[in-house]
Amino acid sequence: MNRRPFDPRLLRRVPAARRDLAVLAVLGGLTALLVVGQATALATLLATAFDRRLETVALAGFVAAVGGRALVAWAQGAVAARAAATVKATLRADLLAAVGRHGPGWVAGQRAGQLATLTGRGLDALDAYFTGYLPQLVLSVTVPLAVLARLVFADWGSALIIALTLPLIPVFGALLGWQAQAATERQWRRLSMLGGHFLDMVAGLPTLRVFGRARAQTDVVRRMADGHRVATMRTLRIAFLSALVLELVATLSVALVAVPVGIRLLGGGIALSTALLVLLLTPEAYLPLRAAGSRFHASMEGLTALDEALTVSAAPATAVPDAPAATSCAAPPGSGEIRFENVTVAYERTTALRDVTLTVRPGERIAVVGPSGAGKSTLLALLLGFVTPTAGRVVVDGVDLAHVDLDDWRRQVAWVPQRAHLFAASLADNIRLGAPDTADAALATAVADAALDDVVAALPDGLATVLGERGHGLSSGQRQRVALARAFLRDTPLVLLDEPTARLDTASEAVVLAATRRLVRGRTALLVAHRPALLADADRILRVQAGRVTELTPATEAAR
């Protein structure tokens, strides 16, 4: 975990923020000059008793310095807020791009909740870092240097005391900061676990209600939320203790300067104007460091989220050991021959496929059968580029898929999953998802081919009807026909279907099955199937069991 107050990776990943950070540095330097100018003007004004002209000049300088500091403080807030918005937008885009690179398997389970928490609440915590801590971090460098430079010429003894005591604040702040960092990491882990579990619970709420487990899961979420509350209170306890220590150190340091100056002033060893200047500038030297220390704790959650966002979004899309560096080349035609050459796909706790070798010839319709969890969907995920072989390779028309531009390759593939996701948009936009620029005539043809005409006719606004999220308002069979219409509209040479008739009643299955036969006609097709109806038209049948692939004859599988 990164413990530095500023992560240099940020400048490399978000180049647009460099200008804002440079402006913050310039404004910090300007603030330091105004602090020195304000203290000098005020000391001159208070020490001048009989020179009216000097009083006027000093008063004008003091008012100008105060106004300048207010203007610069406003500019710092505006620039810092703009930098925070830029960084959050860029990192959220990078996280979405990382999800696209890794594929849907990467965000399954607990990681989905962690990414949702990181993208939302986590990155929002960067506001406190950019608008609170970062400007103070700049001031904690510029202001003490400017104060020391001014006091060296005014009273070098006081400057020496300040120079010796200033490091005490960051030292004590770092000692307490290590404890606060560990507490913040625990707090963040608990929040990520809570977000992931809550997301899974909401997704499975209908099942939990049916089996009477909703109340038990509510108790689990309550316990996890209470654990997060305890972790948060521990973090706040350390933050309050840190603020107390920093205030105490700063107060004692100021006293070490003020007491000798007062004694020397009484003895006539220092001029009134110089004594006032020292007393006015000394607190200003410690103030930015104290403020940075206290605001650091408020921004720790944002720093933790920043480190995780930079790490997650930069993670490589493949983690195959000893794999050669992939070079992107033109995607092969989807109508070419597909070969799996000694392909093994191993996950952290299981092996989905073991040493699979098979050939799919152009125009073949291949059915894939086997028990749940045997590795059938992994075969399709390999062709979609969602999964990378741990060993072996997938070759299309002589080209290794590991070396091609996957976006170009996926344009030649139509995929019909078990549960097609429909978005909160019009039915037409949902069908056009993979081909947004398709003409209305082609859209109408795809609707007819997918046997979706009756559904469109029954909707109040036809194709313009806005659906609910996940296709709320349509039945399972109707949602599956929308997925088939998407595939028809893409008109690709390779079609992948993952149990398109699963969870459908007899009538819906017959309609979807007829549309599926029209879709695969004249195309290379892989169909993951459990029901015998999909096997009748298959040229070959592959059985996947325990990660092994064997070929069956259609008659043998029908007899089973």
- Tell me what pLDDT residue 325 has: 41
Predicted pLDDT at 54 = 80
What's the pLDDT at 93?
86
The token pair that represents 20 in the structure block: 């804002």
pTM: 0.64
Distances (CA, A) of 438 to 161, 324, 408, 423, 463: 75, 39, 18, 18, 14
**Domains of the chain, each with CATH number or no CATH:** 9-168+252-312 (1.20.1560.10), 338-559 (3.40.50.300)
- pLDDT recorded at residue 284: 86
Give the residues of the chain that fall short of pLDDT 50.
1-2, 318-326, 555-560
d(CA 490, CA 411): 8
**Mind listing the pLDDT tens digit for each residue in 149-190?**
998 888 888 888 888 888 877 777 666 666 666 666 666 666
Letter string b/e over residues 478-516, b meaning 16 or more CB atoms within 10 A of that residue's CB: bbbbbbbbbbbbbebbbbbbbbbbbebeeebbebbbebb
Residues in the chain: 560
- Tell me the sheet residues that pair with 344: 391
Please report the sign of the dihedral spanned by the C-alpha atoms of residue 474, residue 478, residue 482, residue 483. positive
CA 262, CA 269: separation in Å to the nearest integer? 10
Helices (H), 397-505: 406-410, 427-431, 440-449, 453-458, 476-490
The tally of CA atoms less than 13 A away on the side-chain side of residue 120 is: 10
Report the candidate in 523, 441, 525, 521 with the shortest Cα–Cα distance to residue 489: 441
Beta bridge partners of 415: 496
CA dist., res. 488 & res. 125, Å (int): 45
CA distances from 529 to 282, 423, 514, 552 (A): 78, 26, 15, 14
Q: How much is the pLDDT for 229?
A: 74
CA 313, chain centre distance (Å): 7
What pLDDT score was predicted for residue 206? 65
Residues 6+ apart with CB under 8 A from 293: 169, 170, 173, 242, 243, 246
Q: Of all helices (H) and strands (E), which one includes residue 45?
A: helix 17-47
DSSP reduced 3-state for 535: coil
Amino acid at 370: G
Q: Can you tell me which residue has the tokens 């892989």? A: 526
Close Cβ partners of 66 (under 8 Å, ≥ 6 residues apart): 38
Q: What secondary structure letter does DSSP report for 438? A: -
SS3 55: helix
**Strand spans (E) along 248-350:** 338-346
The single-letter code of the amino acid at 362 is P
CA–CA dist 291, 132 (Å, integer): 9
| 45, amino acid identity | L
Name the 3-class secondary structure at 365: strand
- pLDDT number for residue 354: 84
Q: Which pLDDT does position 34 carry in this prediction?
A: 92
Are 498 and 413 contacting, i.e. CB atoms less than 8 angstroms apart?
Answer: no
**pLDDT at res. 1:** 42
